[in-house]
Amino acid sequence: MQFEVGPAGESAMRLAYAESPHPALTRGLLAIQEQAERRFNGALTDTVVGYTTLTLFFSPSSLERDRVESWLREQAEDICSLGPDLDEHEQPAVVLPVFYHPSVAPDLEWLADDKGLSVDDLITAHSQTTYFAYATGFAPGFCYLGSLPDELATPRLATPRARVPAGTVAIADSQTAVYPCDSPGGWRLIGACPKALFNLNDTPPSVLSVGMAVRFEPINEADFRSMAQGAS
């Protein structure tokens, strides 16, 4: 695997792999992130894992660029040497209940028609796939999950909606996600999850995090209403 290490602004360093995203690479980045938090404890202000990147943020007076760059290169080379072995340690999937219905998913029927599928076939394709959490962002608790089955991949809306309700399950391109809070959004909406995915009073505050496996489980309307009431 090829990679680059370099500055990311005045007080950050970034490791970036020239690879397509895949679970083994993400697990490698998480391993380096954990080691960095131990080695540079006190100097770091934040660490962020992206699809193919790891960015280390330092307090301005604590960043020793040459030292950090050398250490990152050493760790990156070690991860490269492990290769496919990083995929050996699978973990149980987090299962999220989803009510797939046009009453909560305005794009569900449109997407099924666009893809030449029945609504039931679309639901089956989406819910029988195990997804991998590659990155977080956009909003607190928003986790980018991939990859969708090829037959479900679809572009974002040309004009985002002004409001997407919390819990809405959506797809865009080859990704799927659950909106953790009310927000604007341009993804295609295909269902609703009654489980709260982000709460500042919880530890950790987010149900999902990078590196997790995630599945969706179809539920009926009665169960959806009951679970939603219990989560409120």
Domain map (residue ranges) of the chain: 3-87, 94-231
pTM above 0.85, yes or no: yes
User: Average of pLDDT values for 194-215?
Assistant: 93
Please, which residues have CB within 8 angstroms of residue 100's CB and are 6 or more apart in sequence?
Answer: 108, 119, 122, 123, 126, 127, 169, 190, 191, 218
User: Average of pLDDT values for 201-213?
Assistant: 92
pLDDT band at 127, cuts 50/70/90? very high
Single-letter amino acid code for the residue at 104: V
Task: Decide if 3-87 and 94-231 have a common fold.
Answer: no
Residue in the block written with tokens 């029945």 = 118
* pLDDT of 87 higher than 80: no
Q: What number does CATH give the domain 3-87?
A: 3.30.1360.40
Task: For residue 215, count CB atoms less than 10 angstroms from its CB and return exposed for 0-12, middle for 13-18, buried for 19 or more.
Answer: middle
Q: What is the pLDDT of residue 220?
A: 97
Reported as a single tens digit per residue, the pLDDT across 130-178 is 999 999 988 888 999 999 999 999 999 999 999 999 999 999 999 999 9
Reported as a single tens digit per residue, the pLDDT across 36-57 is 999 998 899 999 999 999 999 9
**Residue 189 β-bridge partners:** 170
User: CATH for 94-231, among 1.10.620.20, 2.10.109.10, 2.40.100.10, 3.40.980.10?
Assistant: 2.40.100.10
User: Average of pLDDT values for 186-196?
Assistant: 97
Reported as a single tens digit per residue, the pLDDT across 5-45 is 999 999 999 999 998 898 989 999 999 999 999 999 889 99
Please, which residues have CB within 8 angstroms of residue 33's CB and are 6 or more apart in sequence?
Answer: 47, 49, 54
